[in-house]
């Protein structure tokens, strides 16, 4: 089970993972060991709530294909197990990002005391600036 939040869990049988050969440096080991993980998660076929599925599909992310499949390739680490954990963590963060809702801003008005102080300060600054002019005798 992949824990997303307190009340949101994804069963691991919905996540498809395959071991593939990693790219880049690693000597001869990279040619014979499949240490990278190729993760695929079908958003539409998952057990996520419909609202969250829609928000996930709205995210502009290159890891989400046109047919609604999240594809993550994890190859940061040299071991398959660490790459598996990394891929699941990146999937969790992506779903968590879609699950987050911004609080709606409640517009407020300044108090009458705040308005009064602002206007008083403006007149005071105006008087100070008026005193900076040339002195006439």
Measure the CA–CA gap between 43 and 51, rounded to whole angstroms.
12
- The CATH code for residues 2-99 is 3.30.160.20
pLDDT in tens, 69-94: 888 888 888 888 888 899 888 888 88
Q: Which residue has the higher pLDDT, 135 or 28?
A: 135
Question: For 21-25, 49-53, 111-115, 127-131, which range has the lowest pLDDT when averaged over its residues?
Answer: 21-25
- The reported pTM is 0.65
């Amino acid at each position: 089970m992949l824990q997303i939040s307190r009340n949101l869990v994804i069963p691991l049988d919905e996540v498809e993972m395959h071991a593939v050969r990693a790219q880049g440096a690693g000597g001869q080991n990279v040619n014979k060991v499949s240490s990278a993980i190729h993760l695929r998660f079908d958003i539409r076929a998952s057990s996520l709530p419909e609202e969250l599925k829609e928000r996930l599909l709205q995210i502009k992310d290159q890891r989400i294909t046109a047919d609604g499949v999240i594809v993550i390739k994890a190859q940061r680490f040299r071991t398959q197990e660490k790459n598996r954990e990394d891929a699941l963590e990146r999937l969790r963060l992506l779903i968590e990002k879609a699950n987050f809702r911004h609080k709606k801003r409640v517009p407020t008005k300044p108090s009458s005391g705040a308005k009064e102080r602002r206007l008083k300060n403006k007149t005071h600054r105006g008087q100070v600036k008026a005193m900076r002019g040339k002195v006439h005798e």
